[in-house]
């Protein structure tokens, strides 16, 4: 018989596989033509412009790597840099019209629940939602 720790590890492994699904990441990357790290950046910028420092914090990435990603996304036409309204030393990175389309396309693919989840009954989904809500605080 499994103990609580064993069940917790088993459940975590299942949840991790669902969340970190490489096929979904690959599909989103292919759909917008950039790496998944850049897809994550597009999704962060979908809510509004951020400085490169803010992007680095939100992506848990170092500043030189964020600069490289912004340079790449600027070349693709997905982002643009502009002046910060109150900090003359900082630049704001924002999505272009094409960047908004790419972020929306990626979100559509990534936000679609996996087939296995959609096959659960309404009662099972409601119970799972209650449990996950407790875990999320």
CATH fold, domain 22-111, is Arc Repressor Mutant, subunit A (1.10.10)
Predicted TM-score (pTM) of the model is 0.84
* Mean pLDDT value across residues 114-135: 91
Helix H segments across the chain? 4-19, 22-32, 36-45, 52-59, 63-76, 97-111, 115-118, 122-136
Instruction: Render pLDDT for 17-72 as a digit per residue (tens, 0 to 9).
Output: 888 888 889 999 999 999 999 999 999 999 999 999 999 999 999 999 999 999 99
pLDDT category of residue 137 using cuts at 50, 70 and 90: low
Give the number of other CB atoms < 10 A from CB of residue 126: 11
Instruction: Render pLDDT for 64-120 as a digit per residue (tens, 0 to 9).
Output: 999 999 999 999 999 999 999 998 888 999 999 999 999 999 999 999 998 888 999
């Amino acid at each position: 018989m499994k103990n609580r720790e064993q069940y917790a590890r088993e459940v975590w492994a299942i949840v991790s596989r669902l969340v970190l699904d490489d096929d979904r990441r690959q599909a989103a990357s292919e759909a917008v033509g950039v790496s998944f790290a850049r897809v994550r950046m597009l999704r962060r910028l979908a809510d509004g412009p951020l400085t490169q420092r803010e992007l680095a914090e939100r992506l848990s990435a170092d500043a030189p790597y964020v600069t490289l990603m912004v340079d790449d996304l600027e070349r693709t036409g997905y982002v643009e840099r502009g002046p910060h309204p109150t900090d003359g030393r900082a630049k704001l990175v924002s999505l272009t019209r094409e960047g908004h389309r790419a972020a929306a396309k990626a979100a559509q693919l990534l936000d679609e629940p996996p087939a296995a989840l959609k096959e659960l009954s309404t009662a099972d989904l409601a119970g799972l939602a209650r449990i996950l809500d407790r875990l999320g605080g």
